[in-house]
Structure 1
């Protein structure tokens, strides 16, 4: 019994030390009616959860120890749940990041901030697999689900392995389950946000609505409206056209199409089969970049 108690005590001490070390890199992020966490990314830059971040500033960071500084938005990407804030003042130390993915069953900790003090949540990796596409269309480099109860203030904080290394940002997934935006995704998205202030996404310049098409093996998409300056107008599409083929394949459901219009789609050319007043036609469309609005 004494040996077991000593082992548990040692584990508890090691865990609290791990959390204390990581918490030096974690900040509170406050906005209009929002309170969550973020972490040092580069000198003067903090990464946080886009979904939790208030739509508009002002933003305030609560640094380790309780000091408060103002922050401005550098950029945000709803599709990958990554946002970057800039602040001036003493630099918060950056955590030790790894790009490896822990296997299912691995012990993990989520470290957040509440009013300058650390918060900690312990659990395990319940699922780990390869790249996936989020419901909002973002390309995520690894699927990492956590079995732990995540406090609201810890959303946007660090996901740590047992060595104290950060393998990503912990966020809420579907049904409020904790999942991780991995380091590789944060690196790719945050660096682009710092350079350009935004992430480019594909744009068709069309408003579409699903419709049944006689003689087709899939549901078509009717063009409800056309952006006069968009790619669809340039390709010669009209209101009332019914799209039935995409690169000689049955037309995708609208939600799936939107998910596939990621950064890599900008500038690619697609062949669209359509029906116009019952007549079959084919047009080529060059996918554009979605406007800021």
Structure 2
């Protein structure tokens, strides 16, 4: 009987203690009784092969198509380092005789990239990649290497064409650079810093960039795809693996990529390459004039109002313009019935014409409009390649 009372007392004490603990926990730790939601994530399904190849999830398919046609270009040239000019001074030689040290020679290596454009082994690259080179070697994506010969160069567009004698070379497919829109996804393939073939991605930031001082004829695609030293001459492709540009230059304060790169559109590169292969040089039209933009102050001084055009500042003697009767002070306002917006647009139009083309030029001379016919000549080749 006494044991039963003891068990009953213990049970009541435990129950009271649990109730008291529950009250304390409820007062001081109410969050312990709050319900917690289960952690869930929204996970996308695994991409299908069709999605990958369409470029929605990956650009690997485009790289697989284009990368085999992109090559690494290695150049070597012998640089002669002359002795101190003091050794050429007659007074110095009088005291020290003919003990001047011989000129020192050293081998200078550089690197870049290129793109195989057909199964004959022609390679498109930048002129500044191979400028002054004594030896050129290319390395293919599949590991093969070969010596390359220069077919021709065009310093004014910074393009060059090489040739390798290798069988079964992969060739890239040309796209339509004219159809590019700002915001289109692009990929840059090249050999930055000599680390090996590398792919970077970005978008088209702008088209038709000019007046950058990079070359005479400029119509660049601007992209934020990372382009670094060694990428020059490599391929800028679209998500279909088609060539749309030749990577050429970067704008950088540090020497590295800062999201502003420039590529020559394939529409320009294709025309220059075709002429180099067929004629050994680019054939461009030439008017034989020195022109400048018609600024507001010049237009006011000539009494032209808001008329746009290009002012002829000089005439090449015996050139096409001189033979047609053009004179300094004339303002070219239209060519072939198309308006001229400035000196650069005029130069690009003339350069795009084949030598021998008859061009109608509308000018303003002393307030009077005249139309003259000019037989376009061939633009002289630059005497010295532009240094880079």
Both structures adopt the same fold (TM-score exceeding 0.5): yes
Deviation at 1:53, TM superposition (A): 3.1
- Determine the structure 1 residue equivalent to 2:282: 199
Work out whether 1:215 is the aligned partner of 2:291: no
Q: Deviations over 1:48-100 (max 9, x none)?
A: 134x3344343513212262413213343634x54321222345311344437
Work out whether 1:156 is the aligned partner of 2:233: yes
Deviation at 1:263, TM superposition (A): 1.8
Equivalent residues of 1:29, 1:59 under 8 A apart: no
Work out whether 1:167 is the aligned partner of 2:256: no
Equivalent residues of 1:77, 1:198 under 8 A apart: no
- Of residues 247-256 and 24-33 in structure 1, the stretch that sits farther from structure 2 once superposed is 247-256
Change (3 A) 1:27 1:215: same
Higher strand proportion? 1
Q: Which residues in structure 2 correspond to 1:6-155 (within 5 Å)?
A: 19=63, 22-31=66-75, 34-42=110-118, 43-50=120-127, 52-64=128-140, 65=143, 67-76=145-154, 78-79=156-157, 81-99=158-176, 101=179, 104-113=182-191, 117-127=196-206, 132=208, 134-135=210-211, 138=217, 144-155=221-232
Equivalent residues of 2:291, 2:310 under 8 A apart: no
Q: Secondary structure at the match of 2:73?
A: strand
Equivalent residues of 2:332, 2:361 under 8 A apart: no
Larger of the two Rg values belongs to structure: 2
Report the Cα distance in structure 2 between the residues aligned to 1:97 and 1:4, rounded to whole angstroms. Answer: 35
Report the Cα distance in structure 2 between the residues aligned to 1:41 and 1:182, rounded to whole angstroms. Answer: 14
Higher helix proportion? 2
Report the Cα distance in structure 1 between the residues aligned to 2:42 and 2:231, rounded to whole angstroms. Answer: 35
- Determine the structure 2 residue equivalent to 1:230: 319
Equivalent residues of 1:112, 1:118 under 8 A apart: yes
Change (3 A) 1:273 1:36: same
Report the Cα distance in structure 2 between the residues aligned to 1:216 and 1:168, rounded to whole angstroms. Answer: 41
Work out whether 1:254 is the aligned partner of 2:331: no
- Alignment RMSD: 4.2
- Identify which of structures 1 and 2 has the higher relative contact order when contacts are C-alpha pairs closer than 8 Å and 6+ apart: 1
TM-score, normalised by the number of residues in structure 2: 0.56
Change (3 A) 1:160 1:5: farther
Equivalent residues of 1:28, 1:116 under 8 A apart: no
Equivalent residues of 2:227, 2:249 under 8 A apart: no
Work out whether 1:272 is the aligned partner of 2:363: yes
